[in-house]
Structure 1
Amino acid sequence: MGIEVKYPFLFLFLIPAVIMVFLFIRNHRGKGNEKFWIASLRLVIFSLLIFALTVPQVLLPVKGQTVVYLADRSASIGSNDEALAWIENSASKRKSEDQFAVAAFGKNVVLEQNLGRNREAITEFNGKADDSQSNLEAGLQFAASLIPRDSSGRIVLMTDGNETAGKSLEAASVLKNRNIEIDHVPLRTAAGDDVSISELKMPPSLYLGEEAPITIEVTSNIAKEADIRLSVNHKEVLKESVQVNEGKNVYTFTHKADTAGLTVYKAEIAADQDTFSENNTLHSVVNVKGTPKVLIVQGKDAGDIANLLKGSGLETDTVLPEKLPTVLSGYLQYQSIIFNNVPATVISEHQMTLMEKAVKEFGTGFIMFGGEESFGLGGYFKTPIEKLLPVDMDIKGKKEMPSLGLVLVMDRSGSMARNKIELAKEAAVRSVELLREEDTLGFIAFDDRPWEILETEPLKDKKKAIEKIRSITPGGGTEIFTSLEQAYSELEELQLQRKHIILLTDGQSATNGDYELLIEGGKEKNITLSTVALGQDADRGLLEDLAGMGLGRFYDVTDSSIIPSILSRETVMATRTYIEDNPFFPSVQPYPDWSSLFEKGVPEMNAYIAAAAKPRAQVPLLSEIEDPVLAEWQYGMGRAAAFTSDSSGKWSGDWARWEKWPSFINQLVTKTLPQYESEPYRVAVENKDGNTVLSLESAASRSLPIEASIVSETGDQIEANIRLTAPGKYEAAMPESAGMYFLNIKQTDQNGNIQVHQTGFTIPYSEEYLQKGTNKEHLETLSKMTGGKELESGEEAFRPLKKPASTKQPISEWLLLAAFLIFFSEIALRRFGLTAIAAGILKKNRNKKEKPEAPIKIQNLKASREKKSPSVQMPDKLQGGTTVKETPEKTKEKKKTNRPKPPAESSPKEREERMKRLLDAKNRKK
């Protein structure tokens, strides 16, 4: 047991306290030792108060030891069995009062067993630890948090000592201040043959047709044969077998840059019995300058735009919408993207999001041409594509539309749980938002029976309807016919111009009814039916037949994310009014870029898809009813355009035969191409203090603020705070996740001129996947800093700590109480004095010791009367039984006498008579 104080410097107040007491002793005029008693009490009071101010705490020893086992579960550790066996053996050697906990770490930290006594150690790790990194710092901080605050303990660190993230030495210095010791147990690293690509070197930029030098550095711990592959934009361009030697190997290749734009090079190595596959791939992004490249996504019955662009000098790639890329790099290699009559129902939400990122963040252009499967008719309402276009797909309120009755019949069985039913509800909500308030809407959700969510009636309260739709939960089986029959019965008697049913299910009906009879009866009442088969278990044959009989459309959906687009398209097509098919001559607005093309007049146009221009959009061409025929705008870093007629001539009419039609298409595409500055920044990825840092350096040493956008290969936006660190130099902290990233930089100079640069970079795989062996030096440094050591046996984990653990009990309150008690004692001493207090104490003690005496006897009474002083006499004298009064002269005589004279001695007879008279007088009184 001991005492520690929180503020020891406050003891300096004792100096003025002693001086004050000394001055009191010298100046006080008290009697005897009284002033020394007062001075002593005051000194004690001052000392107690000052001691209380220092916040003293009594240290009470804690029985037993607190030990936290911290095990490394990163990829560099071969097996968890070694650590588990060591923990089990060590925990079995502890004493009853010892307590322990178990934690594990990789990139993150997980608690495997909480702190406690009298428990068996775990036999396997159950927590989910990310093995891509070894974050010793995070592991030590978490382990220390398990040890009670203001108490010491021990951490047993079981690892190979190779730190790939964090700063464990800084964590150890904090633990040292808390008297927490770090012992270590070296673990064996993963053993085996391993071949890795340690570096891929490429020039940051190339020109089209240039022979690019490619250097690949391979590191191996064994000599063996391996295959090296090189891919450009996910297409393999080189494969070669090489003999890899132990250590570093350098291989050089060349490749002719034949694709303009951001080009992704990927180097891979493959060998038999390779320990880590994670270190076999590296990427590099190169900006190839040359002829701009355009991606044309071609729909059905669309014109040949690629042929129109042949004379423009642009390179084109034409693909079907089903073959669109699923990664961001697949779009960034193009300078513009053209959708030619493409429906949204065959493009996933993820692919649309990637294109929206390419336009907004990297300046890629985008153009949508019209057609029967484009714009609103294609189902683009509230999609990422509509977001980037300069027109809205919803045109409610602009013109008189036919009255519409729509009933949605949606599967809510158990198989629709999670993502499916959420997307189906979102699809239904979009349909509600597309309808007018005077339109009629019904909603039936079914499992093994129909559930009427919305009664089929005019849509008066959209908000309430949406809330009901969002409240649907999955459950039950699948029975289609009864629900479909109910939908038909609710529509057949309604007096509406358009009546349509949309059936969506992912399963097969438990019962079969007479669908043909039901649908034929509905057709007589002008009811149409479309069906959506979702997933592999749906009854595609039945649903396709139902859509055919119901004069609707059948959708076979494998990606549930396109459900909203399908229902949007069906809702729009049910009105059949989005197509404006009255021939007209578009009016040209005063935009100089376009006016010159129409100097000889404007060709006639047959039809277009109705859309509404967004507020910031420029509309060079308008229809007779002022709908946009051509609209364009700046969306983020890119430029997008919408041509609401088609490119085949079916809708565009004389435009497709117009002599300036190729020039019109070429100018439209050219205006969407991005404008980039030539390599204004040098980009590098560095590892600083365990953190991944993106470094940018301006080639012109400009220090102007910049805006940077970073997007991963999968299209995820990366939050990066670009900060200026030196003239012309910038830095941004990056996530530690390995992969490929794309960077777009925008800088505005003092004159307001905007310069844009786009490039890419890669974060290589973690060093966790490199075989480095055990780093004993680092482990010994951690242990020495905190007073720990390397453990040779499990029993040593519970040895006594160098600074034993203890609990702290504050005593300031007791010191203050003692000071007040002594303060009141000092007041009493000054008020009554030392002598009075002592006399009172002595008298009290004497009274306690005295005992009551026996009754007074006549003899004692006589003796007391005899001893009585003559000066104390009765006022009247008794003589011979009569009262004799003193004369005035005798009284005067008596007053003149300073001292009373001793009485004259009386004879025994007189005394006896006097006593007798006294007794007689006493009896008379009674």
Structure 2
Amino acid sequence: MDWQYPYLLLLIIPALAFLVWAERKSAHPMPASRKRMLLIVRALGVILALAALAGPAKVITSNRRAVVVAVDVSQSLGPEGVKTALQKADSLRASLPGDTEVFNVAFGDETRLLNEPELKDPAAESLAEMQKNHGAQSRYAAAVEYARALFPAGTSRHVVLIGDGHETRGNLVEAARGAALAEVQVHAVPVAGPRKPDVRVRQLVPSQSRLHEGAALKLTVDIESTMDGSGSLKLFENGVEVERRNVSVKAGQALQELFTRHPATRNIYKYRAVLEGFAGDAIPANNEALTLVDVRGRLRLLFVEGDANEAQYLMQAMEKEGIQLELRAPGTIPASPQELSGYDGVILSDVPAHKLGENTMVAIRDYVDKLGGGFIMLGGPNSFGVGGYFRTPIEEVLPVRLKAPDEEEKQSSALALVIDRSGSMSGEKLEMAKSAAIATAEVLTRNDSIGVYAFDSELHVVVPMTRLSSAAAVAGQIAGLTSGGGTNAYPAMSEARNALQRVKAKIKHMILLTDGQTSGTGYESLASQCRAEGMTISTVAIGDGAHVGLLQAIASLGGGQSYTTLDASNITRIFTQDTLIHTGRMIREDAFTPAMSERHPILAGWDKFEPPPLLGYVKTLRKSTAQVPLVTDLGDPLLAHWRFGLGKATAFTSDAKSRWASLWISRWNGFGQFWSQVLRETARPPQGQNMDLRCEMVGDEAKVSVDVLTDAGTRGNEARVTAEVFFVSAESLGAPLKPVQALTLRQSGPGLYAGDFKPEQAGVYLVRAQSGAQMVTAGLVHNPSGEQSLGTVNEPLLREVTQMTGGTYLNQDTKLDLGSAKARRYFELWPTLVIALLCLFIIDAIVRRWEHVTGIWDMAFGGLKSATKTKTAL
């Protein structure tokens, strides 16, 4: 006896206890004897119901045995190998006990039963025809599945595979796992075909399965051979021969040929590589391979360059690579993610943050995060930390942190902030000035000193010049600054100068911020004196009322920068940018040679990355989850990459123009290829923004998987996802795609939808999935043949399968020992229990309605007795 769900039997006791409790609580005016009888009937009914649900079965054992002998008749064995396999099959059948049921099958691309004449005549014409027409593949897994369907019930089951074990379709290991669960033992008899002269195309692999029009596509053809010879290799594009080259092969040596194409228009491109002209090739069916490439519109990126005259180098190089760069000035960038969505990526090159503005930076962040766009930042004196991007939305996107490496913090700096607190600065201006001062304190280190001096008509020392031991303490003092009074910057600047003179620091810098016309004189002289004493002064003018001419003169004489802004929210960016520039930590302008630190698709094709030196870069620190394929000679990040939300972001801390990359532009042939790969790897892939489609062969079936997102962090559940499958034959790749099947994908996980179909013919299959307005495509190649005449046996695979199922690997002897294991057959008992339960239900009704039963009895049989008496009296 066996039970499918034995744990259900544990419910019998609480169910019986409930029946007893219910019987005692019952107030039905029924005699006690009937109540007891009803309780017994119902208890038996509950026991029978739970026993039926538990799935009882009677185990019946027998000594019957069944064996399926499966012979490989694929082209890899050849007629000689098939003859040997059939002879071994005959020897194996002769060794079996006489009461064994034996089934004989042959398999290649398909599996079928062998009849008696074919068993007696290995040279039968039907076998030769099967090898010719259906021997282009070896489907071992399909043979095992076919064999399992032949076994009669109540027999011990054995499958004997006779062949070389070189499967070309399906998954024998997965089929063996299913066989083991079904108690089927798989045995193997190795038979190798003759080693014949054979040259074949093992695979045709594209560098990308999806790309933009005009992009360089590399197609790699892998060729194997068991013979020496010469012939030609042809490449067909959509059925048209586009390239032919002469190739020579040597036995046992793999050959790899590389083709480069530039698909010019948007289309589904079908490629076929064909070998021809090899004399003595034994298996011509394996001389070709297919692949599919989805070509979308040309890659289009928004290029924002701080100096428009320097944009030509990258734009000209990318034009040759088929990438369109649209040059924009910093003030003309779209300020919403929706407007940016028309581009596949955004490049910022040497653009300070204050020229972008907060809204544009937020739009870029959301474009990458939620719309899957690409973002690339190039270095320069106005980029990364020195561009004022510290604590901005752009810093969130970047794979690097915008602070100087720790070893540079040993260089002490002193910074004096001179801030206008006059009445005109009240409100947003002063609040933003205080935020800027606090942010500036945060970018400094403990080795630095800071002082904050405010002015109206008089000097107000907010933070005396002091070592920055606690940024929080300085922030608290700055937060108490209020507005009021007139405008006279000279006393505050003079006090800041005196404080900088007293402090010991290698770098001394002053920043002056004002929004009005300052009174007093002597500013130019003061700036000149500061410069002579080793101090620098930068100025920031806010609004239309500032004395811009005077501030520019002060900055020029003081050796600093002059900034003008109408937006108070830019003050923080300007302060942090200017501080990092003048404290000298963030930029290194020395020649260095980049070094490859880790493998990455961006550097595909470069086993050794040996470009000319670069002449400078902006210092940053890598974020913990970022990849850094290239570093500087000091180990600082040069090229960093990571995913951000749905999109990708790349940081290149040097530049792509004449300041730091002049040697790359003038001396390196790989300049265009390098930047093409950087942009293509970072740009939004040519597919749906919130959908991704994958197709892969699992056994004989093609599995279709679609990921659906509603935004960067939310998976799309309960969506309606459909897919269409199109096909074009291997013999007519130039023909249009023909629809063959429509699928409704079922949800198999959070945001994951799956379906499958079975490719029947050799050729190219295109799957197009759709959910709402989103649509994605992916290709699947079903190559014509994978057969090869190696003259070897795939012993590791056959041994693994036999060990997994408890079978035998018959390497020397073809005598199969079936063992003494008895076959088990299960006789289901639940139907009998259900019939008994129905009978108990009728008995229950009789007991509960006994008065009705007796009344019906009296009506039926009482009337009959009266009629009998009357007849007797007459």
TM range (shorter): 0.3 to 0.5
Relative to the length of structure 1, the TM-score reads: 0.44
Structure possessing the higher radius of gyration over alpha carbons: 1
Relative to the length of structure 2, the TM-score reads: 0.46
Greater relative CO (CA pairs within 8 A, separation 6+): 2
